[in-house]
Amino acid sequence: MAKPQKTAIQPTRAADFPEWYQQVIRAADLAENSETRGCMVIKPWGYGIWELIQQQLDTRFKATGHQNAYFPLLIPLSHLEKEAGHAEGFATECAVVTHHRLETEKQEDGTIKMIPTGKLTEPYVIRPTSETIIGAAFARWVESYRDLPLLINQWANVMRWEMRPRLFLRTAEFLWQEGHTAHETETEAIEETRTIHRLYEEFLRDHLAIPVIAGEKTEAERFPGANMTLTVEAMVQDKKAIQAGTSHYLGTNFSEAQNISFTSRDGTQQYAHTTSWGVSTRLIGTLIMAHSDDDGLVLPPRVAPSQIVIIPVTPKEETRDAIIDSCQALAEILRRECSYAGQDLRVHVDTRDIGGGVKKWEWVKKGTPIRIEIGPRDLESGKVCLQRRDQAANEKAFIPKEDFIRHASETLQDIHNTLLTRATELRDNHITACNDIATFDQHWSQDAPGWLSTPWNGTRKQEEELSKKHQITIRCIPVEPLEGLDHSPAPCFLTGETTSQRALWGRSY
């Protein structure tokens, strides 16, 4: 019987996926739990990934005419009360500020206790999302149809008091962007909602190498207060779903509550049609679960803080300086002469005085796309030792330095393509068509069952009963037919009535 292969991460994905996920974060030094319940410290390597996601998304937002602004962290309770349907959806997750001062009180044992005093006349909610506070600003800014559209984005933190926090996926405080727009007509607002939906789908595919199913949420899963919620759903390696981004058409619901009204072209008063949309640091959790392996994190090149790490191998002191000089020279050439996805290459030379094996495994676990080693023999032969993170950790190729320089960008793109292909095959191999309730019920008794696509025209009550029974949800109604699955009209698997609509069901994080 063959001995199991030793891996850098224990337990493996197959043995304990949730614990494997935590250990990947730890090994890559991405984040850690903090003293504040449910909140995390994002460490430099993890924050570097978020900065790149932020920069690249921000460029896309600005290219579509959006501008950044900033709004208050504290939202008056009365603002939420104006939109009861929206607030009710977040009520159990809200953190509330009730006092504005602390006073000291000396205890009998000599310690000092801090006592909240100065009760606020009105409590403030730490923003779980900003529709109401931004709506109040929009009401001040909009008077005429000439003031529309308003296309605003905010990069911020929000707080939702999670009962079962998990680093990146669900934390009480997290970072995100939230777009908020106001439009003259329903048609314009819906087009905005769909534009951002497509932008998210393209970003996950082209930047994070994550294929998603783009679709619409059912009424039961819709954002509180929205008329329509569009979502991009990712499948990760344990076959569960992650809602990776959402875009909402809010109709005039918030405009009426916040009085975002304007004088229309015919002189009448109208309410603006609004949208909101966002992605968060949950994208990092999605990325980890989508691509990483039993040796650690695997990063798509566009969001890797260092795309190439060069490791000098210096077994003899007399060749050390020459090898390090060669490594530094290679890094300078790559930075100066090469680019990837329109940006200069991010290259790091690891000159720390620690063992080469330790260095190698640190960068393996951090997910760096390309590792280059240069030792005495490589220096003599003019070659480099190339190792790719999308391949086994012990796989290597010795190639002429000039060839590596010439093809560095192509190699990074090939790594992206490999990760995308793997993730797409995993997803497509675990979405199954289902046309009858018996098969549907049996499917969810399996471990890691994957997703089901069913003909569907059931009611909200029926959907909620099935969801509760199997601990699943309709992830979305796909916008486009799923490749390889029949989407012709068929009897609903529950009601038997003919429908052309398909529902995608799955378990989720």
What HEC string does 88-155 produce?
Answer: HHHHHHCCEEEEEEEEEEECCCCCEEEEEEEEEEEEEEECCCCHHHHHHHHHHHCCEHHHCCEEEEEE
Check whether residue 495 and residue 387 sit in a common domain: no
Q: Which two tokens stand for residue 205?
A: 């595919």
Check whether residue 406 and residue 359 sit in a common domain: yes
Check whether residue 32 and residue 171 sit in a common domain: yes
391 within some domain: yes
Q: Which two tokens stand for residue 118?
A: 């100065």
For the chain, give the longest Cα–Cα distance: 84
* Overall domain count for the chain: 3
For residue 178, what are the β-bridge partners? Answer: 154, 278
The C-alpha atoms of residue 151 and residue 63 are separated, in whole angstroms, by 12
Check whether residue 283 and residue 168 sit in a common domain: yes
Q: Which helix (H) or strand (E) holds 463?
A: helix 460-470
301 within some domain: no
User: Each residue's pLDDT tens digit in the chain (509 positions)?
Assistant: 445 568 999 999 999 999 999 999 999 999 999 999 999 999 999 999 999 999 999 999 999 999 999 999 999 999 888 876 676 777 889 999 999 999 999 888 889 999 999 999 999 999 999 999 999 999 999 999 999 999 999 999 999 998 889 999 999 999 999 999 999 999 999 999 999 999 999 999 999 999 999 999 999 999 998 999 999 999 999 999 999 999 999 999 999 999 999 999 999 999 999 999 999 999 999 999 999 999 999 999 999 999 999 999 998 899 999 999 999 999 999 999 999 999 999 999 999 999 889 999 999 999 999 999 999 999 999 999 999 999 999 999 999 999 999 999 999 999 999 999 999 999 999 999 999 999 999 999 999 999 999 999 999 999 999 999 999 999 999 999 998 888 899 999 999 999 999 999 999 99
Query: In CATH, what number is assigned to the domain containing residue 245?
Result: 3.30.930.10
Q: Which helix (H) or strand (E) holds 177?
A: strand 173-183
Helix, strand, or coil (residue 493): coil
The C-alpha atoms of residue 343 and residue 188 are separated, in whole angstroms, by 33
Helix, strand, or coil (residue 257): helix
Helix axes 44-63, 17-28, angle to 10 degrees: 90
Determine how many CB atoms are found less than 10 A away from the CB of residue 72: 14
Q: 250: domain range? A: 17-96+126-291
Check whether residue 397 and residue 475 sit in a common domain: no
Contacts of 16-25 with C-beta under 8 Å, sequence gap 24+, read 17/237, 17/238, 18/166, 20/294, 21/166, 21/285, 21/288, 21/289, 22/166, 22/167, 24/288, 24/292, 24/296, 24/297, 24/365, 25/167, 25/168, 25/288
296 within some domain: no
4 within some domain: no
Check whether residue 325 and residue 273 sit in a common domain: no
205 within some domain: yes
Q: Which two tokens stand for residue 413?
A: 């793109």
Query: In CATH, what number is assigned to the domain containing residue 486?
Result: 3.30.110.30
Check whether residue 402 and residue 435 sit in a common domain: no
Check whether residue 410 and residue 468 sit in a common domain: no
102 within some domain: no
How many Å separate Cα 324 from the centre of its chain? 37
Output the 3-class SS for 386-439.
Answer: EEECCCCCCCCEEEEHHHHHHHHHHHHHHHHHHHHHHHHHHHHCCEEECCCHHH
Q: Which of 183, 148, 152, 187 is nearest to 64 (CA)?
A: 152
Helix, strand, or coil (residue 491): strand
Position 15, amino acid = A
Cβ contact 169:259 at 8 Å: no
The C-alpha atoms of residue 509 and residue 475 are separated, in whole angstroms, by 11
Q: What is the structure's pLDDT at 28?
A: 98
Instruction: Look up tokens 């308003």; give the residue.
Output: 150
Check whether residue 136 and residue 205 sit in a common domain: yes
Q: Which two tokens stand for residue 161?
A: 């008091």
Check whether residue 173 and residue 266 sit in a common domain: yes
With residues binned 3-state (H G I as helix, E B as strand, rest as coil), the percentages for the chain, rounded to 5, are 35, 30, 35
For residue 245, what are the β-bridge partners? Answer: 232
Check whether residue 232 and residue 318 sit in a common domain: no
**Integer angstrom CA distances of residue 230 from 169, 290, 463, 491:** 20, 21, 18, 25
Q: Which of 219, 213, 250 is nearest to 231 (CA)?
A: 213
498 within some domain: yes
Q: What is the structure's pLDDT at 3?
A: 53
Helix axes 356-366, 17-28, angle to 10 degrees: 120
Check whether residue 381 and residue 493 sit in a common domain: no
Please give the full DSSP string across 15-69, using - where no structure is assigned. T-HHHHHHHHHHHHT-EEE-SSTT-EEEPHHHHHHHHHHHHHHHHHHHHTT-EE-
271 within some domain: yes
Q: What is the structure's pLDDT at 108?
A: 86
| Residue 49: exposure state from Cβ atoms within 10 A (0-12, 13-18, ≥19) | buried
For residue 349, what are the β-bridge partners? Answer: 310
Pairing of strands 112-126, 173-183: unpaired
Cβ contact 275:247 at 8 Å: yes
Cβ contact 374:327 at 8 Å: yes
Helix axes 44-63, 282-291, angle to 10 degrees: 110
Helix, strand, or coil (residue 458): coil
